[in-house]
């Protein structure tokens, strides 16, 4: 396959094992994903709870009651309410740029701590909200929390992990996201029957936030970040500790070299736009864009609506929580076990094809049942078939674009552009999460069943994009990625010869 360049990493095989210390450290850091997942799952449920709407959005609630449309495509859509929901993603987008500076200048730990702290303040403001202002300010704090965590946690995980299990450890982040979504859906289900249940739903967000705050205080800083900030001795000791061996000279030297190269860079933002970083800039921008264009958040945010249409009645929200949430968690495990063995590309490609097929089937079935006017219903057998395809779609996302959307951008950037690259990744991701939440209901009303084909077309584009342009990065040490670009049929022309040792260039030049 065109993109599957053979990778030569200069023969680097660092010594070391997978230590318990590194596993525990990564587990604690991955908690950052819980915050994001919790929020992704909690808000949709809360904004459909009657007491919450009556208290904060009474006019919206009245309009909702007056809405008597039977068109299944054109569900009640209020921009103010969706804007409230998605304001968090805008706040996260802005925060990711500040987080980049904190992460680079002060380390990964302070960024994670701040992420937890912001989220804690936001959860408390929301849980105790007495007016809309408190609610919105709380949401902005939550957004800052998500921005800080999503910027720093994936970098932290990729830097701590030994190359051979970097994928699995990094996917701990996505694993926590999916657990956060599942947990929050179940909490919503339990609280939705109580008058002040929404306070519990919003306030419980404080729990993962406290876990992350306390956890991040106990964590150690990554060797890469210590060297970046001049603490060489500490960095070497840390490297020995996390690799479980004293023989870390080669890896340590590579980190020092990477740091020296990075210190020559004055402005990481300007730097990442330079020609030699074109591959990283491309993937840090397109991977999050494509991840959102898979349409996954249509399922995550609107599953209860979708399941009601499918005829699950009053159990729709519980069913959607348990079924899609459960599949999401379990299928993420598949990628934990496969990503370092079979690589990133195969997961991307298989996941893409599976999502494509599922979207086409779902689109055809909905089109045949609801036609253009949106009138109709499914019988039990049809609903079951549809459900199977929705689950297969969620599973495909969960072992491909879900985890890899966070893993790949965090492992491809060299130190001098890492914080900036990850900030771009988070910002683009948040922007399109926001955009899709905002326009989904009106898109469905206009494109009808064609909406599924719309997302299918994007999945086709992104799968071709990966097939031709993404090289395999499994088992390649983070600071050795230049070899990967240099051996790729398309990206090699962007990488100057001095980016890899002369011996490598002469070996390539040989017939």
Residues in contact with ligand BGC by the rule CB under 6 A: 40, 174, 177-178, 181, 291, 296-297, 300, 328, 402, 405, 429, 433
Q: How far is the CB of 424 from ligand BGC (least distance, A)?
A: 15
Q: Tokens 């955009």 belong to which residue?
A: 435
Q: What is the CA radius of gyration of the chain?
A: 23
- The residue (of 361 and 428) whose beta carbon lies closer to ligand BGC is 428
The token pair that represents 277 in the structure block: 């970083």
**CB of 227: closest distance to ligand BGC in angstroms?**
30
CB neighbours of residue 65 within 10 Å: 11
Q: Whole-angstrom Cα distance, residue 312 to residue 306?
A: 9
Report the residue number, 181 or 361, with the smaller CB distance to ligand BGC: 181
Helix (H, G, I), strand (E, B) or coil at 387: helix
Nearer to ligand BGC, 53 or 212 (CB): 212
CB of 20 to ligand BGC, least distance (A): 27
What minimum distance in Å lies between the beta carbon of 405 and ligand BGC?
5
Q: Of 181 and 212, which CB lies nearer to ligand BGC in the complex structure? A: 181
Rounded Cα distance, 138 and 172, in Å: 27
Mention every residue, 6+ apart, whose C-beta is less than 8 A from residue 73: 370, 374, 444, 445, 448, 449
What is the Cα 360 distance to its own chain's centre?
A: 24
C-beta of 450: minimal distance to ligand BGC in Å? 23
**Residue number, 297 or 473, with CB nearest to ligand BGC:** 297
Instruction: Supply the minimum distance, in Å, between the C-beta of residue 300 and ligand BGC.
Output: 4
Instruction: Give whichever of 179 and 318 is closer to ligand BGC, judged by the CB atom.
Output: 179
Contacts of 189 (CB under 8 A, 6+ apart): 45, 317, 318, 321
Q: Least distance in Å: CB of 373 to ligand BGC? A: 31
| b/e per residue 422-457 (b: at least 16 CB within 10 A) | bbbbbbbbbbbbbebbbebbebbbeebbbbbbebbe
Q: Are 51 and 195 in contact (CB under 8 A)?
A: yes
Q: Which of 32, 207, 200 is nearest to 112 (CA)?
A: 32
Those residues with Cβ within 8 angstroms of residue 1's Cβ, 6 or more apart along the chain or in another chain:
345, 467
- E strands, 318-428, are none
Instruction: Considering the complex, state which of residue 434 and residue 483 has its C-beta at the smaller distance from ligand BGC.
Output: 434
C-beta of 299 vs 365, nearer to ligand BGC: 299
Q: Residue 35: which of 135, 168, 150, 129 has the closest Cα?
A: 150
103 vs 110: CA distance, rounded Å = 7
Between 370 and 465, CB nearer to ligand BGC: 465
Least separation in angstroms between CB 319 and ligand BGC: 18
Nearest distance in Å: CB 44, ligand BGC: 11
């Amino acid at each position: 396959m065109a993109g599957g360049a053979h990778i030569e990493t200069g023969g680097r095989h660092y010594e070391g094992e997978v230590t318990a210390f590194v596993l525990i450290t990564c587990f604690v850091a991955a908690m950052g994903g819980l915050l994001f997942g919790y929020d992704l799952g909690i808000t949709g449920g809360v904004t459909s709870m009657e007491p919450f709407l009556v208290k904060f959005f009474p006019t919206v609630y009245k309009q909702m009651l007056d809405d008597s449309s039977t068109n299944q495509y054109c569900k009640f859509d209020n921009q103010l309410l969706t804007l409230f929901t998605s304001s968090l993603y805008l706040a996260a987008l802005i925060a990711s740029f500040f987080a980049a500076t904190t992460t680079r200048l002060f380390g990964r730990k302070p960024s994670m701590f701040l992420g937890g702290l912001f989220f804690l303040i936001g959860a408390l403001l929301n849980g105790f909200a007495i007016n809309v202002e408190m609610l919105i300010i709380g949401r902005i704090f939550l957004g800052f929390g998500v921005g800080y965590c999503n910027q720093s946690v994936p970098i932290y995980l990729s830097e701590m992990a030994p190359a051979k299990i970097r994928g699995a450890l990094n996917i701990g982040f996505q694993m926590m996201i999916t657990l956060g979504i599942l947990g929050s859906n179940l909490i919503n289900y339990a609280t939705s029957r109580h008058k002040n249940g929404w306070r519990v739903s919003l306030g419980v967000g404080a729990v993962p936030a406290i876990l992350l705050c306390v956890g991040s205080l106990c964590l150690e800083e990554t060797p890469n970040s210590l060297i970046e900030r001049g603490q060489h001795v500490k960095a070497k000791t840390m490297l020995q500790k996390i690799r479980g061996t004293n023989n870390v000279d080669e890896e340590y030297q590579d980190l020092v070299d990477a740091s020296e190269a990075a210190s020559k860079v004055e402005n990481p933002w300007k730097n990442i736009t330079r020609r030699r970083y074109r591959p990283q800039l491309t993937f840090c921008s397109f991977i999050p864009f494509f991840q959102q264009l898979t349409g996954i958040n249509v399922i995550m945010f609107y599953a209860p609506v979708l399941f009601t249409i499918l005829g699950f009645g009053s159990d729709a929200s519980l069913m959607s929580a348990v079924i899609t949430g459960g599949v999401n968690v379990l299928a993420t495990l598949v990628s934990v076990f496969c990503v370092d063995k079979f690589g990133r590309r195969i997961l991307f490609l298989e996941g893409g094809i599976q999502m494509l097929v599922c979207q086409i089937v779902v689109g055809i079935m909905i089109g045949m049942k609801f036609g253009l006017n949106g009138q109709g219903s499914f019988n039990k057998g049809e609903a079951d078939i549809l459900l199977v395809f929705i689950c297969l779609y969620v599973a495909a996302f969960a072992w491909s674009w879900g985890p890899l959307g966070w893993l790949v951008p965090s492992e491809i950037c060299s130190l001098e552009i890492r914080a900036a690259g990850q900030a771009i990744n988070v910002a683009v991701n948040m922007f399109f999460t926001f955009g899709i939440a905002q326009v989904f209901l009106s898109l469905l009303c206009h494109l009808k069943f064609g909406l599924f084909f719309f997302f299918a077309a994007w999945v086709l584009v992104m799968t071709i994009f990966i097939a031709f342009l993404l090289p395999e990065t499994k088992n390649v040490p983070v600071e050795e990625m230049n070899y990967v670009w240099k051996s790729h049929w398309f990206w090699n022309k962007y990488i100057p010869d001095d980016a890899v040792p002369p011996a490598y260039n002469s070996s390539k030049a040989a017939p």
